[in-house]
């Protein structure tokens, strides 16, 4: 029996180990090494922090970086604000008859590719788009205006794309919350406001944290939505990375950017977990 | 002669904790053997070692004379009925029962035949294609037992199989199980913490405590002549007095100040001891004057009516000590009311003293 | 506030208004996309010029329907192939991982588990460039030292499969683990006790028990792979997957053929979602 167990263990362990080592650990070490190499004037590759210096000395780089970080936090917050009432309504208010149907309806759009969703928004919002068509035909506008390609449309697009990853954990943690907590608080004379902030929010905190982590991470790493919906000057940091890799073919600089983005996302997630006293394994499963 | 199961000096430790601490016993072919003990005393651990899911720290397990240590569970001629039954939810009743037969590469027709027969024997004829989850508790029970019995094991191990059933069904299954065992003639090793299950069904019962066997005996003997104070208190109801032994070693003085003539089970007792008296050993409304009786007054406090099992709670003599006494439901005792004082007596042989 | 407590009219009505607005917001882009796939127009916009299936079937000089557009058809086929391999591989590895982390005990288990979850918080773009960099290094090394050119060390179909597999495995692992956690170990023991070998136990008991989770995880893996953009972007060779191909078309000005493709995607993914849902419902 013991021999069997050992044998079985290695059958499982070796592939998993290879996966983690070859496809996760090693590539990221390589990313770090590449970011620390720089081609000097002689055309030789040398170890250097030059790629990082570049980042801090060029305003456009670190400004983009900062802006993306702030926007990602904003998007995470907005996503929470938009989806919380929905999750609450579906789990606690609406008659249970409709609950299943509303949830399915809620999840349906997210099975469809992000690109299709973004495309839908583009044909709605752009100057020749559907909304403009209606506004002009109803004489609300004299001539079409460009509603796409600005920060507002981009943020809306990002919120739209991320909603699923917030609403699912919210629904499951609200579902797990017994109605009697709210009833008891109500019975003890608490106002809606107090119930919300003292009972509901603390109870659903784990769901909020795990939703926020995923939304934040996906927003930070998003490429499509900012690229297609954002304006010329709402450059996303992933686009900077792409430019370094594909346009300038400066892989070392790109690696440095990538590594910085990785650091940023890990850092903010870590702070988020610390502040709410959660741990990663629990928050993600 | 080969016993069905023979266990010697079996031990199992988890880190420092001795879950099974040196158990010795044998079970004769075709007997119903129960292991009775409180929760956590190591019953499941012992059973899992016999089935092969746990490796003993030391000791030997022989089935029909063959050593089992080192043999994997799927090769042992024992089958286990799990505490939670463990019926496979992805298979129907027939497939569940056929599972073990298929592993033995029986022919299709043979399997069909055997499944049909065994189902009839457990009164579930024609249930082959039923879904496991559609069965009632008692039916699941019988499927689980049939699934093991169909393999004709040397020994069938049962780990509190009635634990999940409600009281009524449990009473019914007790009788059913006993009948099944008779019919099949398979050796049953039955684990329980319910003394009535053990006493009703078994040919022999082992009482287990803290990883050790305290006594192995027939149910009658276990009840009538418990060897240790643990057995005396665990098997059946009993009244306990703290007492100290008098010089003559034939009587004791209880904490309440009463003198009892007693029977010493434990010859080693120095001074302090415990006196055990079964509720039904106390005879109410007796005539004084017999040599080998102890007499005392009982002040009836409460009558606990429970049909044929009715008891009274009463104070002994003038003390606060409460004891339980059986109250047979016949006319002779019908007039006994709460608050009354009644003369009572108990035979010396029923006053057992333990360490 | 909730079902069982008294509510004011205003509270109820504002909730309902919000719900309607939200669901409109949710479905507007998809509905508009689908509707405009059938508009008899050169551009994916209003006015409505009448119903037409041109963007599906036509094959003239100025209108090529999706079923005659070889570039898009090829990219769909490539995406299906990619998704097929990715789901097979990640289903296998993710299940192994679930067994490893749920049923085995070993040194540094927590550390390995943490590592296995990290793909969830690594942005896809980063994973893409890291794999690009390291395979490039490995490829160069192989070529310089041994003079062999290993295909999947260069951006190519197989590199895309590997890149997607690297993070989709984690999702499979989570889904399968969740079900394995609820698995009653005594079922395995019962099977062993009835004479099954370890291999038979896995084949006859554990895998059938995991089936719904495996189907669900497989569907999720397939969809994630089919739709992946961020990681794929950096690893792609000449075999363009559908999302990349669509992206290039959307970026460079769009025709209703994109609506037609989107319509097909929406319909097929919804179908898949519904089938998956029915499956999980039935298992419960
Ligand atoms: N794997 C283990 N590791 C450590 N201790 C264990 C392990 N398995 C059992 N024990 C301990 O061994 C003791 C006996 O356990 P066992 O399951 O045999 O009890 P039991 O008599 O079957 O009880 P119950 O009637 O409640 O089923 C318990 O105290 C338990 O905590
Ligand atoms: Mg037990």
Ordered DSSP codes for B129-186: TSBGGGS-HHHHHHHHHHHHHTT--SEEEEESTTTTS-HHHHHHHHHHHHHHHHHH--
C146 close to C64: Cβ distance less than 8 angstroms? no
Q: Check if B305 has its Cβ closer than 6 Å to any atom of ligand 1.
A: no
Residue A133's pLDDT is 86
A285 close to C178: Cβ distance less than 8 angstroms? yes
Judge whether A6 is closer than 8 Å to chain B, CB to CB: no
Residue of A4, A92, A124 with shortest CB distance to C29: A124
Q: Rounded to an integer, what distance in angstroms lies between the CA atom of residue A213 and that of residue A221?
A: 12
Residue of A27, A112, A114 with shortest CB distance to C134: A27
**Is the pLDDT at A4 greater than 60, yes or no?**
no
Judge whether A138 is closer than 8 Å to chain B, CB to CB: no
Q: Which residue of B has its CA nearest to C283?
A: B90
Which of A55-69, B307-321, C82-96, C102-116 is modeled with the greatest confidence? C82-96
Residue of B83, B88, B100 with shortest CB distance to C205: B88
Residue B62, beta-bridge partner list: B6, B67
Residue of C23, C33, C132 with shortest CB distance to A116: C33
For residue B157, give how far its alpha carbon lies from the nearest alpha carbon of chain A (Å): 20
For ligand 2, the distance from its centroid to the CA atom of residue B12, given in whole angstroms, is 15
Residue C64's pLDDT is 78
ipTM: 0.85
Averaged over A127-137, what is the pLDDT? 86
Q: Rounded to an integer, what distance in angstroms lies between the CA atom of residue C20 and that of residue B184?
A: 68
Sorting pLDDT into bands at 50, 70 and 90, what band is A3? very low
What single-letter DSSP state applies at residue C42? S
For ligand 2, the distance from its centroid to the CA atom of residue B40, given in whole angstroms, is 7
The string of pLDDT tens digits covering residues C141-179 is: 888 888 887 777 888 889 999 999 999 999 999 999 988
Q: Which of residues 192-231 of A touch B (CB under 8 A)?
A: none
- How far lies B200's CA from each of A5, B173, B220, in Å? 41, 11, 10
Higher pLDDT, C105 or A281: C105
Ligand 1 nearest-atom number relative to CA B47: 18
| B67-97: b (≥16 Cβ within 10 Å) or e | ebeeeebbebebbbbbbbbbbbeebbbbbbb
Higher pLDDT, B136 or A276: B136
The string of pLDDT tens digits covering residues A10-68 is: 888 999 999 999 999 999 998 898 888 887 777 777 787 888 888 888 888 888 888 89
Residue A272, beta-bridge partner list: none
- pTM comes to 0.78
CATH 2.60.120.1440 describes domain B237-354: no
For ligand 1, the distance from its centroid to the CA atom of residue B13, given in whole angstroms, is 10
Judge whether C200 is closer than 8 Å to chain B, CB to CB: yes
Neighbours of chain C (3+ CB pairs under 8 A): A, B
Ligand 1 nearest-atom number relative to CA B41: 21
Residue C71's pLDDT is 85
Judge whether B330 is closer than 8 Å to chain A, CB to CB: no
Q: Which residue of A has its CA nearest to C25?
A: A160
Residue C1's pLDDT is 67
Judge whether A1 is closer than 8 Å to chain B, CB to CB: yes
Q: Rounded to an integer, what distance in angstroms lies between the CA atom of residue A3 and that of residue C203?
A: 19
**What's the CATH number for B3-225?**
3.40.50.300
User: What residues have CB less than 8 Å from A77, skipping those under 6 apart?
Assistant: none
Query: Residue B103 and residue C209: Cβ atoms within 8 Å?
Result: no
- How far lies A233's CA from each of A64, A150, A227, A275, in Å? 10, 8, 11, 33
The string of pLDDT tens digits covering residues B160-215 is: 888 777 888 888 888 888 988 988 889 999 999 888 889 989 999 999 999 999 99
Q: What is the domain-level CATH number for residue A92? A: 1.10.3720.10
Residue nearest to atom 24 of ligand 1 (CA): B39
Hey, what are A201's tokens?
């929010």
**Is the pLDDT at A223 greater than 70, yes or no?**
yes
Query: Residue C106 and residue A13: Cβ atoms within 8 Å?
Result: yes
Residue of A16, A89, A265 with shortest CB distance to C19: A89
**Is the pLDDT at B289 greater than 50, yes or no?**
yes
Q: Is B266 in a helix, a strand, or coil?
A: coil
Residue A1's pLDDT is 42
**Is the pLDDT at A121 greater than 60, yes or no?**
yes
For chain B, how big is the Rg over CA atoms in Å?
Answer: 25
Residue B60's pLDDT is 93
Average confidence score pLDDT of chain A: 84
Sorting pLDDT into bands at 50, 70 and 90, what band is C23? very high
Neighbours of chain B (3+ CB pairs under 8 A): A, C
**Is the pLDDT at A280 greater than 70, yes or no?**
no
Judge whether B69 is closer than 8 Å to chain A, CB to CB: no
A60 occurs within a structural domain: yes
For residue C270, give how far its alpha carbon lies from the nearest alpha carbon of chain A (Å): 7
A193 occurs within a structural domain: yes
Query: Residue A4 and residue B52: Cβ atoms within 8 Å?
Result: no
A40 occurs within a structural domain: no
Contacts of C205 in chain B (CB under 8 A): 88, 90
Residue nearest to atom 8 of ligand 1 (CA): B45
Angle, CA C144 vertex, CA C142 and CA C147 arms, to 5°: 70
A84 exposure class (CB count in 10 Å sphere: 0-12, 13-18, 19+): buried
Q: Rounded to an integer, what distance in angstroms lies between the CA atom of residue C78 and that of residue C72?
A: 10
B70 close to A2: Cβ distance less than 8 angstroms? no
Q: Which of residues 70-89 of B touch A (CB under 8 A)?
A: 72-73
Q: Which ligand is nearest to the CA of B14?
A: 1
Domain count, chain A: 1
The string of pLDDT tens digits covering residues A157-211 is: 999 999 988 998 899 888 888 877 777 777 776 777 777 887 888 888 888 888 8
Q: Check if B16 has its Cβ closer than 6 Å to any atom of ligand 1.
A: no
Contacts of C195 in chain B (CB under 8 A): 74-75, 100, 103-104, 151
Lowest-pLDDT range of B33-42, C72-81, C140-149, C274-283: C274-283
Average confidence score pLDDT of chain B: 88
Residue C283's pLDDT is 61
Q: Rounded to an integer, what distance in angstroms lies between the CA atom of residue B149 and that of residue B79?
A: 8
Angle, CA A103 vertex, CA A99 and CA A109 arms, to 5°: 155
Averaged over A97-121, what is the pLDDT? 87
Full domain range(s) for residue A204: 52-284
Q: Where are the domains of chain B?
A: 3-225, 237-354
For residue A9, give how far its alpha carbon lies from the nearest alpha carbon of chain B (Å): 18
Displacement of CA A187 from its chain's centroid (Å): 39
A121 occurs within a structural domain: yes
Q: Which ligand is nearest to the CA of B37?
A: 1
Contacts of B45 in chain C (CB under 8 A): none
Hey, what are A237's tokens?
């940091």
Query: Residue C123 and residue A28: Cβ atoms within 8 Å?
Result: no
Query: Residue B55 and residue A4: Cβ atoms within 8 Å?
Result: no
Q: Check if B42 has its Cβ closer than 6 Å to any atom of ligand 1.
A: yes
Residue C38's pLDDT is 86
Q: Rounded to an integer, what distance in angstroms lies between the CA atom of residue C214 and that of residue C176?
A: 7
Contacts of C208 in chain B (CB under 8 A): 90
Contacting C with CB below 8 Å, chain B residues are: 51-53, 72-75, 78-80, 82-84, 86, 88-90, 99-100, 103-104, 147-148, 151
| B194-205: b (≥16 Cβ within 10 Å) or e | ebebbbebbbbb
Residue A71's pLDDT is 92
Averaged over B264-271, what is the pLDDT? 79
Higher pLDDT, B83 or B62: B62
What single-letter DSSP state applies at residue A93? I
Contacts of B55 in chain A (CB under 8 A): 1-2
Averaged over A239-250, what is the pLDDT? 85
Q: Which of C194, C196, C201, C205 to mutate to test the interface with B (most CBs of B within 10 A)?
A: C194
Residue A207's pLDDT is 86
**CATH architecture of residue range(s) C64-254:** Orthogonal Bundle (1.10)
**Is the pLDDT at A2 greater than 50, yes or no?**
no
C263 close to C33: Cβ distance less than 8 angstroms? yes
Lowest-pLDDT range of A45-59, A122-136, A257-271, B206-220: A45-59
Averaged over C123-135, what is the pLDDT? 90
For residue A41, give how far its alpha carbon lies from the nearest alpha carbon of chain C (Å): 22
Averaged over C53-57, what is the pLDDT? 77
Which of A160-174, B254-268, C42-56 is modeled with the greatest confidence? A160-174
Judge whether B56 is closer than 8 Å to chain A, CB to CB: no
Query: Residue A223 and residue C230: Cβ atoms within 8 Å?
Result: yes
Q: Which of residues 234-253 of C touch B (CB under 8 A)?
A: none
Q: Check if B53 has its Cβ closer than 6 Å to any atom of ligand 1.
A: no
For residue B146, give how far its alpha carbon lies from the nearest alpha carbon of chain A (Å): 26
For ligand 2, the distance from its centroid to the CA atom of residue B43, given in whole angstroms, is 6
């Amino acid at each position: 029996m013991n021999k069997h167990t050992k044998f079985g263990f290695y059958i499982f362990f070796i592939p998993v180990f290879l996966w983690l080592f070859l496809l996760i650990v090693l590539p990221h070490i390589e990313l770090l090494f590449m970011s620390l190499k720089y081609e000097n004037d002689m055309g030789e590759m040398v170890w250097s922090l030059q790629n990082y210096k570049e980042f801090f000395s060029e305003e456009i780089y670190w400004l983009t970086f900062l802006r993306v970080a702030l926007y990602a936090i904003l998007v995470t917050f907005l996503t929470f604000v938009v989806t919380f009432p929905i999750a609450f309504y579906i789990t606690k208010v609406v008659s249970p008859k409709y609950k299943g149907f509303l949830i399915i309806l809620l999840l349906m759009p997210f099975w469809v590719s992000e690109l299709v969703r973004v495309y839908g928004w583009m044909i709605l919002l752009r100057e020749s788009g559907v909304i403009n068509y209606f506004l002009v035909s109803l004489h609300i506008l004299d001539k079409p205006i460009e509603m796409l390609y600005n920060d507002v449309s981009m943020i809306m697009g990002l919120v739209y794309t991320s909603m699923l990853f917030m609403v699912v954990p919210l629904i499951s943690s609200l579902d797990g919350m017994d109605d009697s907590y709210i009833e008891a608080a109500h019975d003890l004379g608490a106002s809606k406001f107090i119930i919300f902030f003292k009972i509901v929010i603390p109870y659903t905190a784990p769901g909020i944290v795990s939703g926020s982590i995923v939304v934040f991470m996906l927003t930070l790493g998003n490429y499509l939505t900012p690229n297609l919906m954002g304006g010329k000057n709402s450059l996303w940091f992933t686009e900077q990375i792409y430019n370094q890799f594909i346009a300038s073919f400066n892989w070392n600089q790109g690696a440095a950017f990538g590594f910085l983005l990785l650091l940023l996302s890990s850092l903010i997630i870590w702070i988020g977990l610390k502040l709410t006293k959660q741990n990663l394994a629990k928050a993600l499963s | 002669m080969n016993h069905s199961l023979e266990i010697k000096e079996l031990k199992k430790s988890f880190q420092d904790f001795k879950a099974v601490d040196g158990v010795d016993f044998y079970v004769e072919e075709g007997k119903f053997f129960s292991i009775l003990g409180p929760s956590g005393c190591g019953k499941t651990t012992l059973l899992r070692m016999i089935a092969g899911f746990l490796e003993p720290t030391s000791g030997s397990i022989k089935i029909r004379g063959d050593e089992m240590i080192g043999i994997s569970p799927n090769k042992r001629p024992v089958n286990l009925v799990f505490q939670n039954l463990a019926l496979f939810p992805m298979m129907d009743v027939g497939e569940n029962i056929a599972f073990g037969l298929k592993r033995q590469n029986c022919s299709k027709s043979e399997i069909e035949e055997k499944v049909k027969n065994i189902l009839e024997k457990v009164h579930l004829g024609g249930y082959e294609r039923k879904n496991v989850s559609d069965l009632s508790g008692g039916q699941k029970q019988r499927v689980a037992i049939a699934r093991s019995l169909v393999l004709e094991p040397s020994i069938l191990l049962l780990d509190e199989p009635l634990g999940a059933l409600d009281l009524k069904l449990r009473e019914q299954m007790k009788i059913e199980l006993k009948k099944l065992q008779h019919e099949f003639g398979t050796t049953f090793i039955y684990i329980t913490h319910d003394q009535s299950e053990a006493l009703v069904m078994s040919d022999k019962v082992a009482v287990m405590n803290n990883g050790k066997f305290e006594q192995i005996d027939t149910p009658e003997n276990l009840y009538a002549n418990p060897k240790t104070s643990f057995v005396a208190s665990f098997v059946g109801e009993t009244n306990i007095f703290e007492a100290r032994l008098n010089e003559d070693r034939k009587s004791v003085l209880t904490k309440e100040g009463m003198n009892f003539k007693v029977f010493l089970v434990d010859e080693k007792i120095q001074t302090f001891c415990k006196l055990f008296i079964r509720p039904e050993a106390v005879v109410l409304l007796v005539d004084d004057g017999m040599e080998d009786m102890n007499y005392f007054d009982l002040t009836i406090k409460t009558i606990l009516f429970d049909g044929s099992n009715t008891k009274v709670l009463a104070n002994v003599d003038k003390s606060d000590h409460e004891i339980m006494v059986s109250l047979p439901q016949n006319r002779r005792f019908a007039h006994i009311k709460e608050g009354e004082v009644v003369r009572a007596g108990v035979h010396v042989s029923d006053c057992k003293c333990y360490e | 506030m909730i079902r069982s407590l008294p509510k004011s009219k205003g509270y109820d009505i504002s909730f309902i208004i919000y719900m309607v607005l939200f669901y409109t917001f949710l479905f507007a882009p998809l509905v508009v996309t689908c509707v405009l796939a059938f508009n008899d127009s050169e551009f994916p916009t209003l006015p409505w010029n009448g119903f037409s299936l041109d963007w599906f079937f036509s094959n003239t000089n100025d209108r090529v329907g999706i079923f005659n557009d070889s570039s898009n058809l090829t990219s769909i086929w490539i995406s299906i192939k990619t998704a097929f391999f990715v789901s097979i591989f990640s289903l296998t590895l993710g299940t192994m991982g679930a067994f490893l982390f749920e049923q085995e005990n070993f040194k540094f288990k927590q550390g390995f588990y943490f590592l296995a979850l990290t793909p969830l918080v690594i942005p896809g773009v980063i994973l893409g460039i890291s794999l690009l960099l390291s395979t490039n290094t490995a490829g160069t090394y192989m070529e310089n030292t041994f003079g062999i050119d290993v295909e999947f060390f260069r951006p190519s179909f197989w590199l895309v499969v590997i890149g997607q597999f690297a993070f989709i495995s984690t999702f499979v692992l989570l889904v399968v683990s969740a079900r394995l956690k609820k698995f009653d170990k005594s079922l395995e023991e019962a099977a062993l006790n009835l004479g099954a070998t370890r291999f038979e136990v896995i084949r006859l008991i554990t895998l059938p028990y995991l089936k719904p989770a495996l189907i669900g995880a497989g569907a999720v893996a397939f969809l994630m792979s089919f739709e992946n953009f961020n990681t794929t972007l950096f690893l792609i060779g000449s075999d363009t997957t559908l999302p990349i191909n669509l992206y290039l078309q959307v970026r460079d000005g769009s025709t209703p053929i994109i609506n037609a493709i989107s319509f097909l995607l929406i319909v097929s993914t919804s179908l898949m979602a519904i089938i998956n849902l029915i499956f999980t419902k039935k298992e419960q």
